[in-house]
Amino acid sequence: MTATVAHHEVESVFETLERGFGERISPAYRQALRKATIPDRLLVSRDGPQVVGTAASEPARMTLPGEVVAPVAAVVGVAVLPTHRRQGRLRSMMRYQLDDLRARGEDLAVLTSSEARIYQRFGYGPATLASTYRLEKRDLSVLVPERIDLSGMAVRFVERDEAERRFPPLLSAHQPSRSGEVSRLTLGWEDVLGTDTEEEQKDRFFVECTEAGEPVGYAIYRIGRDPGTSGRVLRLVELCALSDPAYLALWSYLLEVDLVGTLVTGHRPTDEPIRWLLSDPRRMVPLRTGEHTYVRLVEVAASLAARRYFAEGELTIAVADRFCQWNTGRYHLSFGGDGTAAVERLPLEGAADLAADVSVLASCYLGGLRPSALAQIGLVEAASPRALATADRLFLGPVPPFSTTSF
Q: What are the phi and psi torsion angles at 248 (to 5°)? A: -70, -35
Between the two ends of the chain, the Cα-to-Cα distance in Å is: 25
Q: Comparing C-alpha atoms, which of 331, 326, 377, 379 is closest to residue 351?
A: 331
Beginning with the edge strand found earlier in the chain, give each strand of the sheet holding 50-64 in spatial order. Answer: 2-4, 42-47, 50-64, 68-80, 108-112, 293-297, 125-126
Q: Which residues pair with 60 in a beta bridge?
A: 72
Question: Which has the closest alpha carbon to 137: 238, 251, 228, 230?
Answer: 251
Side chain identity, residue 196: D
Residue 237 pairs in a beta bridge with none
Element (H, E) at 364: helix 358-365
Sign of CA dihedral 309, 310, 311, 315: negative
Sign of CA dihedral 354, 360, 364, 368: negative
**CB of 364 closer than 8 Å to CB of 371:** yes
**What's the CA gap between 94 and 62, in Å, rounded?**
21
* Cα–Cα dist 405/280, whole Å: 29
The residues assigned a catalytic role are: 119, 407
In this structure, are residues 316 and 331 in contact, taking their beta carbons and an 8 Å threshold? yes
**What's the rounded Cα separation, in Å, for the pair 264 and 206?**
16
Describe the chain by its helix, strand, coil percentages, rounded to 5.
35, 35, 35
Q: Where are the beta strands (DSSP E) in 65-152?
A: 68-80, 108-112, 125-126, 129-136
Please say whether the beta carbons of 180 and 366 come within 8 A.
Answer: yes
